[in-house]
Chains A and B, each alone.
Chain A
């Protein structure tokens, strides 16, 4: 039947995952009690806290699935899933290391040189080295193959880069950008050819990071401008010209995790306090409906973690989960609003009002970042055999 390429085998039960889940829960309770962080919505974008990231690194909760020789811990994707899920549910400040741990590290493992791996991966696993995604550009949003940032070799064999990347979350607090560049002129017959990935040290001359503020005034996004920036020749990641293929693999990691349905979980948690207090049937039913959707998404995401453990790269199911999950993240706001009488405001004396405001002002991003839901549905349609 048509949906077969979208479905994955049920995830195996993992005792190890439950064990580490309990450890993370204990750690988070202690950190919350000590006041080391406060819960917020969408903290994997907005919660930059290098000290917190280093604590996670010390406990072995970053680079979990990577080989020990690169500072990893050789644990399963199921265990990593449990750790990331607990951190998100607690609204913990995980933004500093999130991209590096989720996709840049795996990308380096897959395509990096031995020197690149040895130098960078242990620092990511320690919670000390942060990455941004250098894909989108001012004129290239969903149409990623149309990027114009160019890299050309100079006489020394180094890359001279010109162009600009946007929506680079937390570039002002990060160290590297894995940057998709055009290394050969665009070929209308093969739009995906001539692209390469460069491992760019953001502190190099010729690179400027300009802030772009999002709706709540927060500074997470940036524009990264390359003006004759010289990137050492050995900072090519993977193969010259294979950038499109490498980016596609990276997106399977980017699109499949619990951050694609838990960004607004702290709002659900706050709403649950209201429902428990009031014991209002309509509020309890809303909590039940939201929970049923969340539980289904967990099962889908767990299946993807299981597939990653089997060495698969489930890009089509990941697109489906991200579409369903990010739609849910925004729906949480609407569903809660229908059954509570609380105005959303960042200055609200009511924590529910503040959570609603944070969730609402971040909402447009949920279904845009990491590939718009329209793009994702196109990928799902391909999985259905329609294109």
Chain B
């Protein structure tokens, strides 16, 4: 994979995005079905997934580029969940990947239990019971990969949720985050090791960090642009030193997040353990949201506080994404404890091993 491939992917996604403006999500219109169709038609909902499994081919870096570009565009489509989390997990577990044009989402922290219906070692049939909560794109996704618990260990099961009833709940940006009640649902599934289940949770967190990094870069770009255009006291806002200090602080945060998230993605590409790297990326990205969203709104003034202006499409998403797939506090504890595994005197070697 070369950087020019990634550039081409980004250009293609941006081209499509010009025809689909972000809009205020509601229960009646919870996603951008038209955009999804356009992406699927261009093969972009299968990027990074092998062609023999029905995907479009390409590498993880391509999928990350698609997800980042769509996040920066506040695109209301389940691409991060499908390309970076659910589909790779389904494939790794040896389950059949649904067609890439049928949205696939993920649930990692619901209280769902799985009972084996047969005793095979490999992929088998399971009975799922319990409630999958905080399901991204519930009611939109046609398939759901569920991380369940079973008497013999964690199970990744694949459920067809097309038309299945879901409670309506949404995050701060209106993105669907409902629940599914599963009662004796039969599903294909595969046993995972505890480590694999941990890697899956980390992968979800890293996907949100990728989205946050891209969205924060866009928020900075919008804010710099606005500060250059908006005139007060006879000159652009960006000419005022007070505003320059705020924009520079935002830039510091955004640049730090991008460097860490990029490095964490590269660690995944190299096949290294990703739990602590993903934890660090999620924690750092979430922390940056505090500063970047606050200052972006401060610089934009009152217009940025309205639904008439585009800023909220990204700041509301950022405020939710930092909580989703594990809050900063939860991942910070994982990171802190993980770095101390070999004892506090080995903290520094542990830090230099993460990335």
Contact = CB atoms under 8 A, between A and B. Distances in A.
B259 A269 contact: no
B256 A300 contact: yes
A387 interface: yes
Interface stretch (A169-177, A183-191, A203-211, A277-285): A277-285
Interface stretch (B88-96, B133-141, B223-231): B223-231
A126 B349 CA distance: 28
Interface stretch (B74-82, B154-162, B244-252): B244-252
Contact of A299 (B245, B248, B259, B334): B259
A217 to B, nearest CB: 29
A3 B340 CA distance: 36
B248 A380 contact: yes
Contacts of A284: 332-333, 336-337, 340
Main SS of the interface on chain A? helix
Interface in B250-294: 251-260, 262-263, 266, 279-281, 283-284, 287
Contacts of B344: 269, 272-273, 275-277
Nearest to A21: B352
Interface string B318-355: 00000000001101111111011001110111011011
Contacts of A7: 255, 258
Contact of B224 (A2, A85, A268, A285): A2
Main SS of the interface on chain B? helix
Nearest to B246: A377
Contact of A291 (B217, B257, B335): B335
Contact of A10 (B238, B262, B329, B347): B262
Contacts of A272: 339-340, 344, 347
B53 interface: no
Contact of B245 (A21, A300, A320, A377): A377
A169 B334 CA distance: 40
Contacts of B348: 89-90, 265, 269
A296 interface: yes
A305 B57 CA distance: 34
Interface in B220-241: 220-221, 224-225, 227-228, 238-239, 241
B262 A281 contact: no
B332 A292 contact: yes
B331 A295 contact: no
A6 B259 CA distance: 11
Interface of A: 1-3, 6-7, 10, 21, 25, 85, 89-90, 265, 268-269, 272-273, 275-277, 279, 281, 283-289, 291-300, 303, 317, 320, 323-324, 327, 374, 376-378, 380-381, 383-387
12 contacts: A6-B251, A285-B329, A287-B340, A292-B287, A299-B259, A300-B259, A323-B252, A324-B253, A327-B252, A377-B244, A380-B251, A381-B238
